[in-house]
Structure 1
Amino acid sequence: MSSARPRYLIGIDNGSQSSKVTVFGTDGRVVSEGRAALRPYDTPRPGVVEHPDDDLWTSIGAASRAALAAFDGDPADIVGVGLCTIRFCRAVLKADGTLAQPVMSWMDERVGLPYRETDPEAARVTTSSGYIGHRMTGEFRDTAANYAGMWPLDPDTWQWSDDDAKIAKLGLRRELLFDLVLPGDVLGEVTEEAARHTGIPAGLPVVATANDKAVEALGCGLRSPDTLLVSLGTYVAGMATGPRNVADPRDFWVNYAAEPHAYLYESGGVRRGMWTVSWYRDLLGEEASARARAAGLDVEDYLGAEAAKVPPGSEGLMTVLDWLAPGEAPFRKGTMLGFDGRHGRFHVYRSILEALAMTVHETTERMARELGTSHREVVVSGGGSRSDLMMRIQADVHGLPARRAAASSAAGLGAAICAAVGVGVYADFEEAAARMVRAGEVFHPDPDNHALYRRLEAVHRDVRERTDALYRRTYDLFG
């Protein structure tokens, strides 16, 4: 290939709500993209949350075909594919690599327990990335960096444990496990069958990445321990990067980064975080949609513009975001308190955004204290970062400059960065990130607003102590 010809990279981002496939230039700019929504989860019984049928592979195929249909370059100039999928899923495969049962969601209680072999056809147990990687390449190879959780992975070596008893304790056998590679390693090549399904040219190298949060962090340019990433997704949390595996942390947990033998430190977070924002938007229904259309805005922009007129602190209206109770406190419910005659629908909307920011600020402050670090800026990624109001709230609550991630799909860009390293477009992750990640708009904190939020946070963190006893009583009535 002539050096004068352009080169392109594909980033696959299979998230919790949709699959996004993006074609990037080697400068990190988006050339074309496609998206396909995931179907609603199947919940056939309590504790079981599954992706219906073959939904992950189906949605990736639809998103890929859309991205390639919109690509006006020469497919021969696409040089690699980076694969990123949802973390904490579990896939049980037959010997031919097809699903023995539906893929378990990260919300399925079984993924937090040792594997139980219930299907006589089960021949492999893997992650969502292992399953999709096999569909793409035909290989039983997976990234080590997506095996946080109930897996017999040595967190220091990133290899399977050499202790058969430990493997057995997790309900597994060595022959059930995939071969491991590191982020930036080639998993295999796109098969003819996968090419027909996705539209991606057969023979392209498919490169391993990591879990979706780690790949998102890479696509946001998270390279320094003094930068905090706030990821606004279905799960909202704060992340920082570091070089060591911290044993038994109290106020955070250690995740594998999308670069070999690097780590992410992740704070406690909000389950159904941005889901709650969407939930409230949908509750407002057609009236809000009609008002948005009349203003020439989409619904989120309309709600954000109106909520921006509400004073910081929402005039005392507070939200505690337990719309999905944690496993250790199944009785908890979401709480909104402090209503009086001043409050309307936009107070509620702003209060939800403030709750997301205050919850993450509290948990990331605890994480920073334990690590002995401090943060000089916040990078905000995910769909919620498109909201100027959300960005201002993040800056004011953290008391730090808040920078919007420039990439529309940070995980997709992170996957493309891994692909760029894997196929030799760039020599290493440092060079690839420097060339492909661009800075977004920066929002600076208002000192008065920050002072107000610090006082409000002191109240907000005490709410659960007051409401837990009440919710224990209602849990007996309603579950």
Structure 2
Amino acid sequence: MPRYVVGIDSGSQSSKVTVFDELGAVVSEGRVALRPTVSPTPGAVEHPGDDLWESIAAACRMAMAAFPHDPRSITGVGLCTIRFCRASLRADGSLAGPVLSWMDPRVGRPFEAEGGDAARVTTSSGYITHRLTGRFRDTAAQYQGVWPIDHDAWDWSPDETAYTATGLRREQLSELVLPGEILGEVTAEAAAATGLPVGLPVVATANDKAVEALGCGLTDPRTLLISLGTYIAAMSVGDQRAAAPTAYWCNFASEPGVFLYESAGIRRGMWTISWFRDLLGEAAAAAAAAEGTRLEEVLNREAERVPAGSGGLLSVLDWLAPTGSPHRRGSILGFDGWHGRAHVYRSLLEGIAFTMRRATLAMAAEVGVEYDRVVVSGGGSSSDLMMQILADVVGLPTERVVGESAAGRGAAVCAAAATGVHPSLGAAVAAMVHRRDRFEPDPSTAAVYADLGALHGSITEATDPLYERLAALGSAGTASS
């Protein structure tokens, strides 16, 4: 009998559930958008009601309703959820308060109980694990941030001061398992809510970025992954954990004993591209629709005819300022009267590539590795132009893998290895992750970008004093009003 696995990808915008076959082909899927987060007090960012669980359950029902085979042929479900969230639970596992988003500043501070009936504190995956299995278990690879975790042991710290520093008690925390281990089995109650078979093993994965990396086949330390999402970052893997790196963050990967290195990134990366598209207005979107296409495709075609360098336009994508430089703003420099929307669009794409090249070079130097291949994921990877610009700027071949929802695929890879569909995690990756296409650097364009990239890197030296003065004026205006 053919065997199948389920990947749950609970992201910041939606919950996606996909059933894969043994070779990684999509058999059925479901997607349910999350409701908008709420801010009951300034700075607070909370998921409303029981939105995470309800969206996952609904997406599971959609995927299972479309699954054309015997549900008994499904061997396991891999669970991947949003990282850096915090959930307070009652003794019975129900929510004692809203799930805090990764954007909520409270998740970066020691825990403070906001209700008298909070018996346990966990992550988004720990909460969903309990809803699926009835067990207080979680993956160790989800615990970055303010938790009493021993990063070398992948377990709770034996140091009592770690609990005092994080405001947590050991009895409040879930039992930890490693990625690829079984968290529990789907209960009858969860089966009724999701359509998943009763008794189906639920497999631990890691934080969502690490699982996305696995779903893109990131297992070789010399491979670099650039994730072109709302937040853009570059990632690689290795078996050494740096205690205090300066050019990257070191997090848990999806394989025990392996760590995920994540570069500095762009906080409103592909969001800026969507912003520019929407700025063109309904008339531009309607004109594209009349041609039977989307406005993004029209912009890509137009920008392909613009020479490398966008006619001297240089864009710095600080539409949301970096954490360490709150005064910064986005910049588009070098306008002339003959520039059009295609020049601006291409300049934004080039700005992404220039920024990520500097970030990856800094990470590579500190990690001590030389990358020889780049895999690109996320919505931005759908643009052939973006793929070619990255290849030319970074100076390495760029590749895309088959399929969407890399995190869902990574979760399914973990489930396939854990339940014996494939004999190991490496074998599961080899069988289920496939290269779609490859873009080689163009030497002549790469030479142009090498000069422009150096210039691009110096822009903030000139603009920082201006933006600092502008921020001061803004603060003064706010105070006086």
TM range (shorter): over 0.9
Q: Does 1:58 align with 2:54?
A: yes
Change (3 A) 1:171 1:68: same
The whole-number CA distance in structure 2 between the counterparts of 1:276 and 1:194 is 39
The whole-number CA distance in structure 2 between the counterparts of 1:418 and 1:216 is 12
Tell me what 1:292 maps to: 288
TM (normalized to structure 1)?
A: 0.96
Change (3 A) 1:41 1:472: farther
User: Shift of residue 226 of structure 1?
Assistant: 1.1
| Match runs of 1:205-284 below 5 Å | 205-284=201-280
Q: Does 1:471 align with 2:467?
A: yes
Alpha-carbon deviations, 1:235-260, whole Å to 9, x = none? 21111111111222121111111011
Letter in structure 2 aligned against 1:117: A
The whole-number CA distance in structure 1 between the counterparts of 2:45 and 2:310 is 35
Please report the RMSD computed on the Cα atoms of aligned residues, expressed in angstroms: 1.5
Tell me what 2:185 maps to: 189
Letter in structure 1 aligned against 2:311: E
Q: Does 1:21 align with 2:14?
A: no
Tell me what 2:195 maps to: 199
Tell me what 1:171 maps to: 167
Gaps in structure 1 of 5+ consecutive residues = none
Letter in structure 2 aligned against 1:25: D
The whole-number CA distance in structure 2 between the counterparts of 1:69 and 1:204 is 17
| Match runs of 1:96-111 below 5 Å | 96-111=92-107
Which residue among 319, 323, 330 is the counterpart of 2:319? 323
Whether the 8 Å contact between 1:23 and 1:30 is mirrored in structure 2 is yes
Q: Does 1:120 align with 2:119?
A: no
Q: Does 1:370 align with 2:366?
A: yes
Q: Does 1:419 align with 2:415?
A: yes
Change (3 A) 1:118 1:281: same
- State, as a whole percentage, how many aligned pairs show the same letter: 61
The whole-number CA distance in structure 2 between the counterparts of 1:307 and 1:18 is 30
Letter in structure 2 aligned against 1:411: A
Alpha-carbon deviations, 1:151-184, whole Å to 9, x = none? 1111111010001111111111111111100001
Q: Does 1:70 align with 2:66?
A: yes
User: Shift of residue 29 of structure 1?
Assistant: 0.9
Which residue among 436, 455, 460 is the counterpart of 1:459? 455
**Moved runs in structure 1, 4+ residues, more than 3 A?**
476-479
Tell me what 1:434 maps to: 430
TM (normalized to structure 2)?
A: 0.95
User: Shift of residue 224 of structure 1?
Assistant: 1.0
Number of aligned residue pairs: give it: 475
Tell me what 1:7 maps to: 3
The whole-number CA distance in structure 1 between the counterparts of 2:31 and 2:194 is 12
Alpha-carbon deviations, 1:430-463, whole Å to 9, x = none? 1111111111200111112112222112122222
Tell me what 1:449 maps to: 445
Whether the 8 Å contact between 1:385 and 1:405 is mirrored in structure 2 is no
Change (3 A) 1:111 1:390: same
Alpha-carbon deviations, 1:373-414, whole Å to 9, x = none? 111110001111111111111111111110012231111111
Letter in structure 2 aligned against 1:132: I
Letter in structure 1 aligned against 2:226: V
Change (3 A) 1:44 1:331: farther
SS in 1 for 2:99: coil
User: Shift of residue 477 of structure 1?
Assistant: 4.4
